[in-house]
A = this chain, B = another copy of it.
């Protein structure tokens, strides 16, 4: 069972001791289908029409449960709302188009830098957060 399938995440959910509710299934489904990180409200808006009943607060609560167990990652891309994505396990960063909001995944160029910072400052490094803002080719064209 692969990370691209809902079943994978549903199993993980159970394994973490979380109950697999209809709402959580639908949230996971939405995240699996997504091409990039989504905000709680984006998830909510995708589901409300399809789903019997659904609360935004439930989305937030589910995402937090998922985060606590490491199933989901949260990113603040400076777009007002925090974004959430399934935790693929591979560390990286995001390139955001300020025009259309498209989000591309970027690898991490900071392994060496982190070592230098640790050495120079004597801080224990916990994590780093990087994101890049730009304009995608398509948005560049249509100005």
CB of A103, distance to nearest CB on chain B (Å): 11
A137 x B123 contact (CB < 8 A) = yes
Complex Cα–Cα for A98 and B124 (A): 10
Whether A95 contacts B78 by the Cβ 8 Å rule is no
What is the total number of copies of this protein in its complex? 2
Cβ–Cβ contact A131 & B134, under 8 A: no
Q: Could you tell me how many residues of chain A have their Cβ less than 8 Å away from some Cβ of chain B?
A: 33
Is residue A91 within 8 Å, beta carbon to beta carbon, of the partner chain? Answer: no
Whole-angstrom distance between the alpha carbons of A128 and B134 in the complex? 9
Q: B128 to A129, Cβ gap below 8 A? A: no
Q: Does A122 contact B (CB under 8 A)?
A: yes
**A116 to chain B: closest residue by CB:** B109
